[in-house]
Structures are given as structure tokens and as C-alpha cells.
Structure 1
């Protein structure tokens, strides 16, 4: 364990980006071969520093001059093991000894916490102990932390460290200079240590599968909890609005569609796993009633038409499987009712079969078949024989017709080919399908959520037919659909199918495919950006080290729910801001609990008041759907901000920036995606600079008055605007 901090060089924690510091010297971690991580190397190249890898002894430091900043490369990441506090402390001690005068500042990352797998608290303690033991009085070590979760935990664990400014411009306009007149002597000293470096061991890395995650290593479970709360509240709201409906099938509301969009490989399926587990929780005290969760992989079923038939079959079979786990009585009743439905619609067929049986009995009992032999052509007996012959011909036909009608529903429910025949031979078949789907949902008796995955691997006609089937056949059925698919894939599928209408309906930044998606989904959200959690995940991939303890997190979540669940949103937010938690698990659990509360019905009412000034920014004649989607999307965005520890202090300006960003992404989704990738180019909107770097199809939006009004916040009561710094910290893109 690293030693204690003594009162010489000062140490402070800073929330910000290491590479945007105003300090003139910064520290980067390296391996024993002197190489740095790819993302670090890219940032250094952007600063004009081309760092060549040179072998180093672990625990030593190499100085690199010639760039805009003095760079100190610390060899603290072993090739064959985890980083240790001792390595970090030794490197920090050497760095402190290099600081020549008081007033100098060195910018540190949390050394060893990425690929080295070191705990942030151990890293910060080691940096503080090593630096303060050798640095001159009045000098400073600034430990940069990009994750507010980690910052809060470090503040609790290391109260002796001061808190620096949580902005990238740390010291105003004054640039902190680090004199480097003694670099030659220092570098020479470190070169001597390089000559004594032992031979490197053979580098090995573990092998990983590409299966969806079942253990949360990127903080996705918190997002799943936010979505689960929103789904439960949305179903409650739907039921309340439809409670007075005369049709019992629609008294629980209609369909509710959620779109989780992200590119391939971003973790959509893993998020569905966590969301499914969360929705299967049954905690009446927390208002969490277990849902029936049905998994539907669209890619596996895309070659069988009609697509809605597979969805209906999955609803029945999946519900039976789910109910067997926690409500066996309901599972048996569901199966009996389904069988009864399949049989009861065939009464004309059953009547025909009874008629056939009666004819056969009469013929057999009267002996007509044997009595007509050898009779004259026009005798009474011959006529009787003719009747019997006709009956013999009609009887098989009636039998086949009766079987088809009597078991038509059974065939319909058990095969796609039977479904097509049923539709072709039944009067108003779609009405029967709609009514049956409503009956199924009522018989299940629990809220139903269908998880649709891999739709972004399917052909365009299938994508459109499945989503349109949900909108038409399933529209009045109280089922929630969560579709995890790449947004561009779905939009392009609609554009392919409805390309003839693109010219008359598409708008700049909002192609025809996106217009269909707006009409289809009530909530559309991307996955939260990973941030600093990617560093730890990358280190665990390289080392195969264990991730955070789920048992510890579950215990902390239960405690946070007990403490914060009974408080209002504002009071709970102030409590978490004042007391974030004693351990990293406590910090994460308290933020998750608060984020869940942020998307509750009570918080939604409060959000409505926050959004009131923004109505004029929704367009000249905003439609009700856009207004509802704004309220839904803003609630999700604020929940995710809370989950990441952003804006816990009721900063109205920051809330307004979130609202402006949400409006921009809803009205012009392609422009939102572009600015999320290039946030510095937001200055081109409404400005005088050349716009040649902007894609041609988006260039017209840079001068569009409505776009400019949203970016600049030109509305009564709105004081915020979208700027480069605000876009760099958006939680959803």
C-alpha cells in the first residue's frame, strides 16, 4: 500500500480531460517497451507529439521535449501482470523530483487503472504519496478524472486531497510553465536505467468470445433500470388513459414501441439482457411488478411469411414458458384458453362432420347399399340407390370441408403455411387475428414486453412489414416492444420500400426513412457513451481480471433504494450531491437509484415545467407526436445524465442545453449525429465561417432560421445555447 501524503508538493483532483489541461507538463502511462495505448498516442499526435517507443524499466520516467508540452512517460504497466501501487508511487516520486521550482504543476492521469487494472483509489493514493515526498513546496500534482462516479468515490476515500476546478481551463488565462533547463541531465540519468532493463517476457493475451454480456462491465445495468422504470410507468399511464374503454381488450391501453439504436457491436443485445433481467424483477415495495418478457430474434425468422405470425406465436409460446416460472396456474389457464379458441371457431365444420356421420349411420342401418343390387333402372329401389351413390360422393367432400373448418384455427396457430391458408379462406381474417391478440394479452394477465433483436440484419421488405404489422394488427394490444437495431438500417429499409415518396416528404437532415421511424416509435434513444469505463474494460480484456462485484452492487442498490426511494426527486438529488457514497459501489448504486427516479411519472411532470419555454423551438406548427416524443426523450436524457453524475445541482442552464440538444436530434437527426461526431463545428451554424467541411446535404441547415434558433436558444425564457463544450459532454448521440 502506498504511503501517506506529507505536506510538501500539493495534490488535487480535477474533473476534466488530461489532454486539454493548461499545465505545460503532463504524464502518460506506458508499458515496459515504452509504448502507450492507441487512444493516448492519437491524442498526442493531435497535439503534434510523435512519441517513439523506447524500452524502459518499470517504475522509471522518461522526459520528451520538443512539443507544445513537456511530456513525462511513466513505465507503470507490466506486460505480464497488473500494475501495483508501488510502481505508481515510484514513478510519481521521480516526477516530483524533476519539478525544479515552486508554483509548477504536473497533470497526471489515474496511472495504472486502464490496462494495468489498478483500483483508482490505490492509484490516486500512490501518486499523492510519491509526488508529495519529493516535489518542492508550492508545486502541484493535478490528478485528472473524467468520470464523476470515480471523482466522488475518491473525494470520500481521500479527503486530504483538494478538489481542483472541474473545468478544462483550470487557471484562467495564466499558463502554468514548467522550466525545463535541466532536461539534458535528467534524460541522461534515465538513459542509464534503460541499459539495466531485464529481458522482456513473451507477451500473451487471453481469448474472448463475442457473446452478449451477462455481467455488467460498462455500466449498462443502470441504463437498463432507467428504461425498465420508464416502461412500467408508460404501461401504467396507458392503462389509466384507456380504463374507460367499452372494449375490455383495450382497457389496458395499446402498443408502446421503444427503439434502442446503436451501430453493430455497441452492445444492444447485452443491454436487452440486462433490461430483460430488470423487468423480470418482482418487488412490490418498490412498485416493480414482474413482467412477462418474450424474446424474438427477427433475423432467425425473416424467411417465413407473414412476419407478424411468428411474432404472435412467440408471444403465446414465450408467455407460457415465462408464466411456468412464477405463475403456473396462469400458464395452464393460458394454454387451455388457447386450445379452446382454436377449437371453438370451427362449429360449421363440426356440424358438417356430424351430418356426414348421420348419413353413414342411416345408410348402414337401412341396408340400402345391399338392397339396390339387381333392381330395374326406374324402380323405387333404383332411385334409392341413386341417392345413396350421391351421398357416397358428397360424404367425403363434406368430411374434408368439415375438417378444414373445424381445425382451421388450429392449423392457423401452428404453422405459417396454415396461417396463409386461413387468411385466404376466412372472411375478415385480420379482425379475428386482432381480437385473438387482445385475448392473449388479457389471458396472460401480466404486462408483456417483447424484445426484438437483430432486426438490423434483415432485408428491407421484412423490416417494414414487421414494424407495420405491429402498428396495424398489434396497435390496440397492450404490449411493449423494445426494438434494438441500428437506426440508419431501419431508416434505409423504409427509404428502399417508399423511395418513390422521398422527393415529396423528405427534409434536409430528416430523410423519409426517419419520418417513418418517428411515426413508429414513442421513444427512440441511443446507448449512453461509455466514457472512462472503457479504460477499465480494455484492461480487463487484456488481463482477464474480474470486473466489479455484482453482489456488492446489489447490496448497495438495495440500501440506496431504501434511503432515497421515499424522497422526492429534488431532495434525493441534493442528498446524492452532498453525500455521493463511501465506496465506488455506493456511488454507482445511489446514482442509479436517483436516475431511475428521474424518469418516473413525478419527474416527468417536473420535466414538463422545465420544457415549457421550448414550445416555440418545435416549429411553426408542432404536432402532438413531436411534443410527446420531446417529453419522453428529455426524460431519458436527464436520467442518463444523472446516472453519470452530471448536473446533480439543478443547474438550469445545463438542463436547458440538454433540452436544446434533444430538440435538435428529434427535428434533424442527421445533423445531431454529425455534431455529436464533430462538436466543434456547431460554431458553423449561424456563423460566418466557411462551411465546406459540412456534408452537402446538411449545409443548408447551417443557415436555416429554425436550426439557428435551436442552437442559439432563441426563445423567451431560454438563456442557454449549444456550444462546443456542451456537445462534448452529451450523454446520448
Structure 2
């Protein structure tokens, strides 16, 4: 690893160095303290020489507080409360390091000691990985960290554990104290990895899949309850998971499919069908491929757990094809019978050698009859096989549409019949739509939204949001001037109408551990170990009310990476329960004026859905387990800003400090010109300043947002 630990663009963002935190020339120096405000004697002496007050009072576990100083000639000092009377835990260090990352500006350097390894009693290796995970999850892309190790032996051991070359690490040691150089290991020791989607959770995505699966099941139950009969499962439900290429959307779909195939509380599971849009875009129409994939995918899926239903579905489909073409087949059979009788009765013999005029006329009539018969036969073939071809080829489907009255009515009815024959809740995973051309993207999504809107199927679309928005913008370019708004182009308006739920992929807190794994240094929990931890967490926390479960996890996050992940997953899933959704709706009532002058019911529902998922993801990452009211309100404000002005939210996510200029100062450099009017827009200012809700969005709040 050549001395730095990181991942992707962050490969050179973290150095492990041998030396003192105060000697690194860093912009920020981190000093560990206990929850009672005490620091070690060595740190107390250094702080006193710098004119920095030691911390006073009590702190929450994992809290980060900036020191008060009488001098500005030294680095900023941040106290990290990571030590309790019982010691230190990995999650606490990650939480503190993440908060420090949020407070770090672009191009700044932060010097960390090995948090928790002194009075906290933690081993250096887990402490180092916890610092890396937390800092890289919270810090901006240009920030760097130095993890400082005082002891030579500990430094050597860490480098050996990390499978790196200590000669390439920075070091403040002298020639007399420098340990002998260890020869670098050959690059051939690093394995080759495929770039396929993940089936084993190594970036903490499975917890998000659990949250989305629970929300999908709840949405279908809600639609069923609201139906007039109480048994109708409702209509189409669309969920959008957006992230750039390579962020792991397909891997998330894999984990989500596994969750949905697992029986729920009612003992029923979903039929999950994969639809790769990119593979089907070259042959239209899109709805035919989608309908065909639903049928073939459902048969294949049902064979695995309900073979009787699979056979029933197959029989229903083929009977439908036969029955649909029955009139044509009967006419064809009748014509064939007439022709056979005519041949056997010698009716056509006189055509060759007519003996008189009457016979000649008779021959002509029979010839005309033969021609008509041939035409009727062709018509019978076309009519009889029309629906057959419709169901077996895209070309046949196009021909059928061209030659049939109300073909789309037949398509809608047949898909409803398919859903009824399947008799399970159906979820279609639409992947790679962000590789398709704009006309196909729009035709497919509009077909789902309009043509199939009354069919009870859930569609999960994993695609880059900008790609989809640009596709709509290109197809409806002539209407842009009349419809779009600053910060919300016309393409985003279409996406808002299309999807009931839209969520991004959060930044992973396990990036450093994943990097360690692909370099053959396992640092993520084994899948079997994780499953055992999940069973333990469910037994302990599954029946607890959500707020009590979160407080228990905040006090006792777990003793191993598997326990920590499993306990956070257990409480995060509860954040999107139906009871939690009702609680969220009540908590969001004061935010209604911030939704615009005339908010529609759809926007209110989307806010409740998006806020619930955002809170669940925060819980997954160990953020705000204590239910801090101000943080919760800031999450709501950011959710509203992202919904109403997505382009502005994207710009602020990259440059959080720019939020200070909204309503107060010139537009900062780097902000796109089309967003400049929003910096003086009264409604934007109200949301950023949290008018009427006792909270506001500042740079630190935006950096702490897990879905930015």
C-alpha cells in the first residue's frame, strides 16, 4: 500500500506516521479525553504550553468539542470524548472521527493520535481502522489525515499488520531510533478481483436493503388496506435508487432481492424479477419485453418455492394464447375441412377439361372460390396466430398493435391477469437504465407509469438521477421554458411525478475495511459471523420500542464489527416501520410551510417517505442514535432542500461552506450560474434558515448529512 491507506480517490488521504501529533504541522490536532473531561498528563502539559484550556464538564460519548485558546498561533484543537470508565469501543472512535471529518475544510490536514489505545485499553489495529472508517466517511475529498504513533514497536507492528512498507511512511524519528527497513513485499501478493456486482456485503449495503424491503412491503400493505374491497393490492409503486456509475447500485439490488425473497412477518415472500433495460433496448416496444420478462421470470422464480403455482401460471398463459386465437383457429379448421371435401368429391376435376359452357362457368366459380378460400385461410392464420405472435416475439407484438383495435387495452388486461395468476406481491428490479438512450428511458418509464399503473407491481429502478433527468429533458426540450424552475430542471420535475420514493446511496463507513479486504487483509465480518450477530441482535432488540432500542445500542454498540453492524441494522429497520412513519408524519407537521405556497399531497407523502429512509440510513451509520431534536430537524430541512431544489443540494453537498452565502452575501465561486438566483430566493432562504422550526442548515450540518 506504499504507506498510505485509502480507497479510490482517497488513496493518499491518510498517512500512518511515527511521531507526535503536535509536530506534524497539521491544521487540526485531535486530543482524546474522557466523558468526564479529563486528558492524560502528557496532553495536559502540551496544551498548557500552547495556552489551550483543558476540557471542563461532562461530554456525551463520541462528542467532539473545539478547545478554547488564548492564542491563534497554533492549530485548532479538537477534543474527542472517546474514553469511559469501562474503556473505549470501535463505534465510538468511528463516530468521533466522522464528526472530525465533517469539521475539516478542503485541503486541511488533521493529526490523530491512536484514539482509545491509552486509558481506553483498545488494541492499535482496530483503533486505526476505526479512525480511517470514520474520517473518510465524513471528510471532504481534499482533506488529509495523519495517524500518529509514538511507540516504535507499535508503529512497526501496525505496518506489518497493514502489509505495507514502513520505509515509505512519514516519520519524525531520528536515525538512532528508526527501526531497520523492512523490504517491501512484491506486488504479486495482491490478488486480482472481478468488477461484478457484490453478493457478499462488504460495504454495509445490506442494512439499506433491509430498510427498503420493509418500506416496499409496507407500501403494498397500505395500498391493499385503502382499496375498496380490502383485498385489491393496489397499483404500480415506483422506487428510485440513484447514484453515479460504479457506486454499487446493482449490488444493492442483489441484497434487496434477497431480503424480499425472505418471507415476511405474514409468512409470504415476494416474487422478484430482474429486468436489465440495457439488454432489451435495441428491440422495441419496451413494454413487451417487460411483460414477457415478468412472465418468464415469475415461472422461473415460482419453480423454486411454489411449483404448483408455477405450473398453474404456465397453463393459464398458454390457455390464454389458445383462447385468444380460437375464432381464427375455428375458421381455419372449417376452411380446411371444406377444401378436403372438395378435393375428395372431385369438385376441381372439371377445371382442367371443361366439356361445355356450363362446366366452364362451374370451373371459373370453383377457381374464384379457391382464391377466396385462400384469402380467408390467410386471414384465419393471421387472426389465429396474432395473439400467439404477440406473446412470443417483439416483432409479432408490433404487428399485433398495428392490426388490432385497442391493443393497449388488451396489454393492460393481460398484465393484470398475469399478476393475479402469480398471486404473490411482485417486485421488478430495473437495472442499467442509465446506459440506455433517452427515447427508450422515457418510453419505458412512461409505459410503467401510465400503461401499467393499475397493475399491483413494484418497480425498483437503480439508475443515475442526472441520466434519467437529462433523458426527459431531451425528449421534452420544447416545454422546458414553460415548466422548469431554477434548481429544478424539467427532467427533475418528471422524476418527481414518476417515483413515489427516491433515495441515494449513502457514503459507506466501511471503505477502509473494504480496501483492506481486497488487498487480502480481511477486516470485514465473515457472512456467517454476521448472520449469527443478526440473530442475537434481533433476539435482544427486536421487541423493544424504537427509541429504547436506539438508546441501548448507543450505550452498548457491540464488541465486534459484526455485532456493531447487526445491532445498528436492527434499530435502523425500525425507523421505517408503519408506526415510525406515523411518528415522522407528526414530527414533520411544522415543516409544511417550507414545502411551498401550495404543497400537494404527493409532495407531503414523498417528504415523509424520504425523511424516514434518511433517518434509517443515519441510524445504520451510527448517527443520532440519541434522537437529538436539532439534528433531526436539520435532516428534515436537508430532505426538503433536496426535494425542491436538487441541483442546489448537489452543489452544496460538494461545497458545504457555500450555504453561508444564501441570503447573506455574494454567490461563492464554483456555484453554477443558473443556481445564482436561488441564493436570494425567499423560499430557499426560509428552508436554509429553518423558518419556524428552530433549526438551520449550516456547513457542519450539511457535512454531517449521510445522503449528500
Task: Identify whether the pair has TM-score above 0.5, normalized to the shorter chain.
Answer: yes
The residue number in structure 1 matching 2:419 is: 441
The 1:391/1:591 distance shift into structure 2, 3 A limit, reads same
Q: Does 1:571 align with 2:555?
A: no
Q: Answer yes or no: is the 8 Å Cα contact 2:656–2:703 preserved in 1.
A: yes
| C-alpha deviation, 1:365, in angstroms | 4.8
Q: Does 1:489 align with 2:447?
A: no
Q: Kindly provide the CA deviation profile for residues 107-165 of structure 1, in whole angstroms up to 9, marking residues without a partner as x.
A: xxxxxxxxxxxxxxxxxxxxxxxxxxxxxxxxx997799984765999xx9996399xx
The 1:518/1:326 distance shift into structure 2, 3 A limit, reads same
Q: Secondary structure at the match of 1:543?
A: coil
Cα distance between partner residues in 2 of 1:685 and 1:463: 35
> Among 548, 571, 593, which residue is 1:594 paired with?
571
Q: Answer yes or no: is the 8 Å Cα contact 1:149–1:644 preserved in 2.
A: no
Q: Does 1:451 align with 2:435?
A: no
Q: Does 1:259 align with 2:240?
A: yes
- Map residues 53-72 of structure 1 onto 2, 5 A cutoff: 61=19, 65=23, 67-68=25-26
Cα distance between partner residues in 2 of 1:146 and 1:430: 60
> Among 689, 694, 699, which residue is 1:719 paired with?
694
The residue number in structure 2 matching 1:161 is: 120
Q: Kindly provide the CA deviation profile for residues 516-568 of structure 1, in whole angstroms up to 9, marking residues without a partner as x.
A: 1111111111001113x111112222235363111121122123223333333
Cα distance between partner residues in 2 of 1:188 and 1:652: 44
Which has the larger displacement, 552-561 or 333-342?
552-561
Cα distance between partner residues in 2 of 1:617 and 1:153: 32
> Among 282, 293, 310, which residue is 2:263 paired with?
282
The 1:365/1:209 distance shift into structure 2, 3 A limit, reads closer
The residue number in structure 2 matching 1:312 is: 291
| C-alpha deviation, 1:706, in angstroms | 0.2
Q: Kindly provide the CA deviation profile for residues 34-88 of structure 1, in whole angstroms up to 9, marking residues without a partner as x.
A: 66758789768xxxxxx9xxxxxx995488847356999xxxxxxxxxxxxxxxx
| C-alpha deviation, 1:586, in angstroms | 2.3
> Among 298, 309, 312, which residue is 1:330 paired with?
309
Q: Does 1:213 align with 2:198?
A: yes
Q: Does 1:539 align with 2:486?
A: no
Q: Kindly provide the CA deviation profile for residues 247-273 of structure 1, in whole angstroms up to 9, marking residues without a partner as x.
A: x9xx21111001110001100111111
The residue number in structure 2 matching 1:20 is: none
The residue number in structure 2 matching 1:226 is: 211
Cα distance between partner residues in 2 of 1:159 and 1:601: 44
The residue number in structure 1 matching 2:391 is: 413
- Map residues 374-393 of structure 1 onto 2, 5 A cutoff: 374-379=353-358, 381-393=359-371
Q: Secondary structure at the match of 1:310?
A: helix
Q: Secondary structure at the match of 2:427?
A: strand
Cα distance between partner residues in 1 of 2:548 and 2:272: 34
| C-alpha deviation, 1:371, in angstroms | 5.3
Cα distance between partner residues in 2 of 1:193 and 1:365: 112
The residue number in structure 2 matching 1:642 is: 619
- Map residues 668-707 of structure 1 onto 2, 5 A cutoff: 668-707=645-684
The 1:104/1:376 distance shift into structure 2, 3 A limit, reads farther
The residue number in structure 2 matching 1:197 is: 181
Cα distance between partner residues in 1 of 2:382 and 2:388: 10
> Among 425, 433, 451, which residue is 1:473 paired with?
451
Cα distance between partner residues in 2 of 1:41 and 1:445: 50
| C-alpha deviation, 1:442, in angstroms | 0.7
The 1:720/1:315 distance shift into structure 2, 3 A limit, reads same
The 1:618/1:70 distance shift into structure 2, 3 A limit, reads closer
Q: Answer yes or no: is the 8 Å Cα contact 1:293–1:448 preserved in 2.
A: yes
Q: Answer yes or no: is the 8 Å Cα contact 1:148–1:644 preserved in 2.
A: no
Cα distance between partner residues in 1 of 2:601 and 2:506: 27
| C-alpha deviation, 1:416, in angstroms | 0.6
Cα distance between partner residues in 2 of 1:701 and 1:141: 37
- Map residues 18-417 of structure 1 onto 2, 5 A cutoff: 61=19, 65=23, 67-68=25-26, 101=45, 148=91, 161=120, 190-194=174-178, 196-204=180-188, 205-244=190-229, 251-283=232-264, 286-287=265-266, 289-370=268-349, 374-379=353-358, 381-417=359-395
Cα distance between partner residues in 2 of 1:559 and 1:444: 35
Cα distance between partner residues in 2 of 1:200 and 1:355: 86
Q: Kindly provide the CA deviation profile for residues 698-725 of structure 1, in whole angstroms up to 9, marking residues without a partner as x.
A: 111011000000011102xx11111111
The 1:466/1:608 distance shift into structure 2, 3 A limit, reads same
Q: Answer yes or no: is the 8 Å Cα contact 1:299–1:455 preserved in 2.
A: yes
Q: Answer yes or no: is the 8 Å Cα contact 1:206–1:542 preserved in 2.
A: yes
Task: Provide the alpha-carbon RMSD of the alignment.
Answer: 3.5
Q: Kindly provide the CA deviation profile for residues 256-297 of structure 1, in whole angstroms up to 9, marking residues without a partner as x.
A: 0011100011001111111111111124xx346311111111
> Which ranges in structure 2 are unaligned for 5 or more consecutive residues?
31-39, 51-78, 98-115, 123-130, 136-147, 149-170
The residue number in structure 1 matching 2:159 is: none
Q: Secondary structure at the match of 2:241?
A: strand
| C-alpha deviation, 1:97, in angstroms | 12
Q: Answer yes or no: is the 8 Å Cα contact 1:356–1:395 preserved in 2.
A: yes
Q: Secondary structure at the match of 1:293?
A: strand
